[in-house]
Every structure is written in C-alpha cells, then in structure tokens.
Structure 1
Amino acid sequence: MHKIVFLDRATLAPQIKLRAPGFAHELADYAQTQPEDVAARIAGASIVITNKVALTADIFAQSPGLKLVAVAATGTDCVDKAACARHGIAVANIRGYAVNTVPEHTFALMLALRRNLIAYRDDVLNGVWQKSGQFCFFDHPIRDLAGATLGIIGEGVLGQRVAEIAKVFGMRPIFAAHKGSQGFGPLYTPWDEMLATSDIITVHSPLTPQTRGMLAMPEFRAMKRKPLIINTARGGLVDEADLARALDEGLISGAGFDVVSGEPPAADNPLMRIAGRPNVIVTPHVAWASDEAQQALADQLIDNIESFIAGMPRNLVQAAL
C-alpha cells in the first residue's frame, strides 16, 4: 500500500479530474500546505505530489520512506534535487502539456499590447468615443504583428511553437544565442543583435542561476527598437525594477508578464507599480492553465506515478540512486 500526498491540489482548477492511480494506495490531498506543515503531512508517504510547495533538504531528511517526488509542473526549482539524490529519491516532472496554452497566451499579450486594446477599452468605458464626434479615433498607436521581428529567448518546445505561430502572422522570428555565448550555430542570432533588432522580445527559458536577471538595464539600453517585453516563463528572468525603470525612461514600449518574482507578488513589487498602465499587462501565472492543458497535466501526473511504481519510470529529472 503506497501513501500518496498531494500538497497543493488547489493549484489545479476544481473542474480538473485527477484519476486514481491503478495500484493499491491511499491518497491525502490538501488544497494548500504551509512550509511548517510539510514534514508532518508527508510522514510515512512513499510518493509526494507538489506543484509549488518547496521540498527542502530538511524535509527529505525526515522522510525516510519517500521514493518519488512527482512535480505537477515542468519547473522543478521548488525541489532540492541534490538532496533527493543523496536520499535516493526520484523526481519526475510534466512535459509538453503547455505547447498550445502558453504560446496562445503569449500572442494574446502581444496582440493586446501592439494594438493598444487596454487603452481603447478604457477610452470606451470613459466616454471618449462619444466625445470624439466621429466613427473612430486615433489616440493610441496600433501596430501589426506582420513584418515585426520577434526575438525569442529559449529554443525549447514552447519557443519553437511560438516561432511557428509567429510565421503564420507574417513575423520574422529569431532565436537568441545564449547570453555570453561565443559559439552558436546558424539557427541562432547573436545576443546583442537580437536585442538591437527585435520589435518584440519573448522569454521562454527556465530559471537558473545563469538565467536569473538575464534582461536588465544594460540589455534595455541596447534595445534600439523599443520593443515589447513578454514573459510567460518564470519570474526573475527579467529584473523587474530595471523593467519599470526602462518603461519610465521610454527604452521599451510595453510589457506583458504572466509571472513575477515571488507569487503572489508583494505590494511593493515593481511590476505592481506599473501594472495599471495601458501598455502593461500582468496576468496571475495562468498562461499554462487552459482547461485542456490542465487536464493533460493531471493525466500525465498519474501516468508518471504509475510508471514509476511499475518499474518503468518516465520524465525523470532526478533518478533514484
């Protein structure tokens, strides 16, 4: 009998069905779990499911029966994987489920900002249309996506899908070579050239010590075309204080963010200061969360657990030693 504990079931929408694993088990799921409650809740568990609840070295030291951490997401930065390796605990994640939902959200942000939909909607609500005296008015610039250069940071599945959609819109997608890289293939554009030539820059990278703060004031000052900055990947990839400053100084034309550093964000987060501007859109980390994508995630989560118990582990980011 395996004990399975889901520490943050509320990170999936209530309408999403989580099927029961096809082996003898008992399941305890909690809507949310505070850090001080983690150790007690997973006591005696062989499998723990987490989306964003942090699992630290101290937790693993207190959980001798734990065999698998099943992360209900792609990113695994909430898990101390080095500690898992020391304790012989496998870590599996979710892959490929967001190939439609995240790129669609990315383009929703692009379209809304390039066409100034927020500003025009606010004008309509405030009676500006009636005051204009004609069938339309032009208080805010409207730009097509067609013909624009799209700088893509991150060449994984999501970055590739964004590039595919961009071509349908008539854009010119370019993949940025890794920041600081001296060697790159013909499919990549040098980092500095990407900064200088892009009309829109969209980020699809994992958050690592190397990628944290990859876009900051030196990069904003190198952006000659005052691009939109889109981030549907991870908070922390863009220096948020520098982003707000770049917007204030007119170095960029707008920002569409689905992620911030620290979620939910603190009241003094720089993005909260600028979030009410018509050329800024901040959404609450929901780019991944279409019903279709969430159901695919839930199904894959149970697939990962069943495969592990059957002795055929899949989607491992850390194998049990």
Structure 2
Amino acid sequence: MSKPRAVFLDALSLGPVDLAPLERHVELVCWPSTQPELRLERLQGAAIAITNKIRLDGELLRQLPQLRLICAASTGTDQIDGQACSELGIAVRNAGRYSTASVVQVTWALILELVCDLQTRRRQVLQGDWQRSPVFSLVEPEFDELAGRTLTVVGAGTIGRGVAAVAEAFGMEVRLITSRSSAGELEAALRQADVLSLHAPLTPATRGLLNAERLGWLKSSAVLVNLGRGGLIELPVLVEALRRGALAGAALDVLDKEPPGDELDALNEVPNLILTPHIGWASRQARQRLVAALAEALESEIGSWG
C-alpha cells in the first residue's frame, strides 16, 4: 500500500534533525519555509500537513478537501484554525511534552542571569576591572540569593511545574497559577512574586494577561521571564515599566511577532531587558523527541484510516 503524502511547510524551523522516523509512515515533502501565498499550492494533493509556525486558517483549509490530518511540530496549536478543522473533519495532533526539560533549563538560565548579572561580571573581567582591583573580589553590583524568595508560575502545566521543582531546590516559595485560578489568586501571586515565570498558552483569555494593571502589582524588585507566548505581555507597558525602574528586569524568549523586524532595534536599548531568539524549546534532544512524537502521531492516525 502506498504511503500518504505529507507536506512539511517549515522544516527548516527544526534545524539539523533526523526526519527518517517520519518517512517510515509518509511520502514526505519538505519545504524550508513557506510564504502565505504559497501554502495552497504546496498543500495540493497532500493528505497530511505538518507545520511549526505556518498558519493554517479556515479559508485555506476549505480549499483542501483531501487534507485529513494536520500535525503541529510544536506543543501549541494556535497556528491552526481548530474550529475549521472540526467542521471539516480534519484531525489535529501536536508534539506533546517533548520540550519540557529544554524549556525548564533555559528558563532557569535566564532567571539566574537576571538575578546574578553574569554579563556584567564577564565585562568586568574583559575590561580589566578585576586586575585593577585592590582586593581579591569584585562584589558590585550586588546580587541577592533566591532562597526564601517567591517564584510565581503562570501556566502551571508540565513545564511550569518543572520550573517550580527547580525553585524548590533553591529554597524558594512557589505560587502556581493555572486556568482554574481565580482573579484574586492571580493578583495575590503577582504581588508576592520576586520572580515571575510565564508558561501559559496563548488564548483569547490570556492575550495581554500582563497589562498595565497587573504589571503594576509586581514589586519594583521583581524580575520576570516569558517562555510562553509573546502575546501574554503588553510589550509597550513592560518596556515603560523597565525604563521607569518599576521592574528590576525581564527576559523574553518569545515575542508576538517572530522573527521580529526593525522594532527589535528599539528593544535592544531597553535597560535590564534580555532577549533570546525563541530557543527555549530547541535543545538537540528536544527537537529529536519532537520528531519521534510526530512519527507516533502519524502512525496512530494513518493506522486508523483503514
């Protein structure tokens, strides 16, 4: 029996990775990336679409009657019109929890950078400040221990709880916020936070979650990291808070528009703001687990077609 045809619209997004597990189940066509105007042409005749960040909207999907399955090469599926898929009978599968260890690790790398300011320490060494010091150690700028401080995690799923487990090893108090938490619980947890870590999915309910009011609940000594989705934060409000010193620091691994355009130049000038290019998910091991999860989804779905 011939294999169904699958089109991976943005295979380059996975970087150097072995796609052989997918080819065991499908006739795979890979495109490095796909502009919106080329989506329809490239998906013609395909039973399966694979996408990491290429949007698949209802208007497009209604022109692809042969499409039976969409695999999201990601944990989130906000790039796919789920309602249209339900109406059209198109199954949607994602890559599940492949990235937990990677995201937790990068989350803590960013938290520790915000707290310990290792970039400044490195500059001090490179600029000769240590060599010129009259004493053996450069203790300024000062930093604080995490022990006894409070971590608030917004989006306490598998990744969020992994971040919380590391916090407990540091001796921190932990506050977990989920979609079931009340508005009062969210406010209390934000007011208590010394470190705020965002891992919530982007939904209509969470878009702009950190607006001017809620950012105002944070202590001026607090730091935040976002490894969820860029749209969770109203970015201009965050920038203003950092410029005013109303927040001690922030690290963003995600932006609402990716890759960013010229607006990144202005963000690079914001004090105490660290930007990383959406790397949290992308350890070598996580990317190969992602492929394995997609292969499992393909095997399961295709096997049910009869």
TM over 0.5, shorter chain: yes
The residue number in structure 2 matching 1:282 is 275
**Cα deviation digits, residues 194-232 of structure 1 (max 9, x gap):** 121110000010001110111122122221353101101
The alpha carbon displacement at 1:96 in A equals 1.3
Q: Secondary structure at the match of 1:27?
A: strand
Matches within 5 A, 1:256-267: 256-267=251-262
Residue 43 of structure 1 aligns to which amino acid in structure 2?
Q
Q: Secondary structure at the match of 1:260?
A: coil
The residue number in structure 1 matching 2:101 is 100
1: CA distance, partners of 2:155 / 2:180: 11
How many residue pairs were aligned?
303
The residue number in structure 2 matching 1:273 is 266
The residue number in structure 2 matching 1:36 is 37
Matches within 5 A, 1:43-122: 43-122=44-123
The alpha carbon displacement at 1:50 in A equals 0.4
In structure 2, runs of 5+ residues without a counterpart are none
Task: Point out which structure has higher relative CO (alpha carbons under 8 A, 6+ apart).
Answer: 1
**Cα deviation digits, residues 166-198 of structure 1 (max 9, x gap):** 11111111113659826xxxxxx8112112111
1: CA distance, partners of 2:292 / 2:124: 44
With over 3 angstroms needed to count, the CA separation of the structure-2 counterparts of 1:4 and 1:92, relative to structure 1, is same
Give the TM-score normalised by the residue count of structure 2: 0.93
Question: Would you say 1:7 and 2:9 are equivalent positions?
Answer: yes
2: CA distance, partners of 1:177 / 1:84: 27
Question: Would you say 1:300 and 2:301 are equivalent positions?
Answer: no
Residue 295 of structure 1 aligns to which amino acid in structure 2?
Q
Residue 272 of structure 2 aligns to which amino acid in structure 1?
N
Which residue among 190, 201, 222 is the counterpart of 1:206?
201
With over 3 angstroms needed to count, the CA separation of the structure-2 counterparts of 1:20 and 1:223, relative to structure 1, is closer
Residue 262 of structure 1 aligns to which amino acid in structure 2?
K
Which residue among 242, 245, 257 is the counterpart of 2:237?
242
2: CA distance, partners of 1:59 / 1:18: 28
2: CA distance, partners of 1:55 / 1:305: 19
Q: Secondary structure at the match of 1:69?
A: strand
**Cα deviation digits, residues 57-84 of structure 1 (max 9, x gap):** 1211211100000110011111111111
8 Å CA contact 1:177, 1:190 repeated in 2 = no
2: CA distance, partners of 1:111 / 1:226: 15
**Cα deviation digits, residues 255-282 of structure 1 (max 9, x gap):** 111001100112225xx53435673221
The residue number in structure 2 matching 1:252 is 247
Matches within 5 A, 1:151-230: 151-176=152-177, 178=179, 181=182, 190-224=185-219, 226-230=221-225
2: CA distance, partners of 1:180 / 1:310: 39
Q: Secondary structure at the match of 1:175?
A: strand
With over 3 angstroms needed to count, the CA separation of the structure-2 counterparts of 1:174 and 1:225, relative to structure 1, is farther
Give the TM-score normalised by the residue count of structure 1: 0.89
Q: Secondary structure at the match of 1:100?
A: helix
Query: What value does the CA root-mean-square deviation take over the aligned residues?
Result: 1.9
> Structure 1 segments of 4 or more deviating over 4 A?
177-180
In structure 1, runs of 5+ residues without a counterpart are 183-188, 313-321
| Structure with the larger helix share | 2
